Amino acid sequence: MTANKNLSFAIGAFIFGALLLTFLALLFFSGGRLFAKKQSVIMYFEGSVQGLQIGAPIKLKGVVLGEISDIQINFQSLSKHSGGDEGASQAAVTTVVADLLLKRISSSGLAASEEFLTEAVDNGLRAQLNYQSFLTGLLYVELDFHPESPMKRYGYQKALVEIPTMATEFEQISKKFQNINLEDLVSNLNQMVARVNGLLASGEIERTLVSANSTLSAIEHAANGLDGEVAALRRDLSATLAQADQLIGQLNNSAPEIVGSLNASLSRLNNSLVSVETAASQMAYTFSEDGQTVNKMGAALDDVRRAARALQTLSETLDQNPDAIWRGRENAED
């Protein structure tokens, strides 16, 4: 009986130890995430999420902030989403719920909160699918800031913070291809082929090629002539440069003589200026008020004035007594 009790106790202790070790292993490998404060967020993807699994990481700048906790398909009426009539077609989007570890997010040194996530979304925080590995095809959710992208919110679940999503580059390219009208493209290609066939049948291409060949020949001939002119111009320039070098050498040799001649000419010019200055001084003295020339000219002018008065008197006398010229002045006065 005692042995059975000891065996039961040993089995119970072993089971308890195994459970304890399992709990400690889970706590170790979870990195403390089991008891950490989490914030659930929701995202809606319009495209395919094949390769995205529950437990896939959600990252920001390469830092794992949490993991995917739920993936669902959400059918919503287009009338409710876009305001159309009731009974419209159904739109299917993929609802992805993720749990973020708030302890790995801080703002100004303080732990982040739901209000911080809402503000980050308003500032351009967007979610986008990305490949964990191209070989396995597994996906993860990449968070980043794209303020230029439009913010499209579905608002199906108001209780969770919704992070708007962006299409992947491949999805964007696919949408652009879907917008292409293939029928119009094929029709335009057929018209272009028909025009090319008509152009080939008309022989215009052959005539154009012949004309282009003639033009190229003329250009080649002109280029050859231009090469000869350039060579002649090069020879002329070489001869001109040689003459210029010779002239510069002669000027360098004649420079002392030219400088001496210039100095002599400047000396003679200086002497001439001194002579002109002396003559100007003499002329100024000659025509001054105290000069003899001015006095003699004044006396001559007085004599001329007296002669003029005498002539005037004679003229008045002859005018009054015309006979005075042969009778004399005295007889005229009688």
What is the SS3 string spanning 234-298? HHHHHHHHHHHHHHHHHHHHHHHHHHHHHHHHHHHHHHHHHHHHHHHHHHHHHCCCCCHHHHHHH
Per-residue pLDDT at 236: 81
227: left (phi over 0), alpha (psi -120 to 50) or beta: alpha
Considering the chain, what is the average pLDDT of its residues? 76
Burial class (CB in 10 A: 0-12, 13-18, 19+), 91: middle
| Cα→Cα distances 38→69, 79, 266, Å | 11, 35, 103
From the list 21, 78, 32, 73, the residue with the least C-alpha distance to 50 is 73
Dihedral angle over CA of 184, 188, 191, 197, nearest 10: -140
Per-residue pLDDT at 66: 92
Q: How far apart are CA 96 and CA 44, in angstroms?
A: 6
Q: Helix (H, G, I), strand (E, B), or coil: what is residue 141? A: strand
Per-residue pLDDT at 140: 95
Structure tokens that stand for 296 in this block: 């003699």
Per-residue pLDDT at 197: 78
Q: Helix (H, G, I), strand (E, B), or coil: what is residue 72? A: strand
For the whole model, what pTM was predicted?
0.44
Q: How far apart are CA 315 and CA 309, in angstroms?
A: 10
Q: Which residue has the higher pLDDT, 142 or 205?
A: 142
Q: Which residue has the higher pLDDT, 72 or 112?
A: 72
For range 298-302, the mean pLDDT:
73
For range 300-320, the mean pLDDT:
74
Residues 6 or more apart from 285 whose CB is under 8 A from it?
291
Q: Helix (H, G, I), strand (E, B), or coil: what is residue 212? A: helix
Reported as a pLDDT band with limits 50, 70 and 90, residue 67 is very high
Q: Which of 27-36, 85-94, 175-184, 272-281 has the lowest mean pLDDT?
A: 27-36
Residue with tokens 């001194």: 274
Judge contact between 151 and 120, C-beta under 8 A: no
Q: Helix (H, G, I), strand (E, B), or coil: what is residue 14? A: helix
Q: Which of 160-169, 228-237, 304-313 has the lowest mean pLDDT?
A: 304-313
Per-residue pLDDT at 83: 47
Reported as a pLDDT band with limits 50, 70 and 90, residue 42 is very high
| H or E element in which residue 166 lies | none
Q: How far apart are CA 310 and CA 329, in angstroms?
A: 14
Residues 6 or more apart from 44 whose CB is under 8 A from it?
74, 93, 94, 95, 96, 154, 156, 162, 165
Per-residue pLDDT at 114: 73
Q: What is the DSSP letter of 165?
A: B
Judge contact between 122 and 106, C-beta under 8 A: no
Amino acid at 3: A
Residues 6 or more apart from 310 whose CB is under 8 A from it?
none
What is the percent of the chain with per-residue pLDDT over 70, rounded to a whole number?
A: 71
Judge contact between 35 and 101, C-beta under 8 A: no
Half-sphere exposure of 41 (CA within 13 A, CB side): 29
Q: Helix (H, G, I), strand (E, B), or coil: what is residue 146? A: coil
Q: How far apart are CA 285 and CA 263, in angstroms?
A: 34
Q: How far apart are CA 307 and CA 238, in angstroms?
A: 86
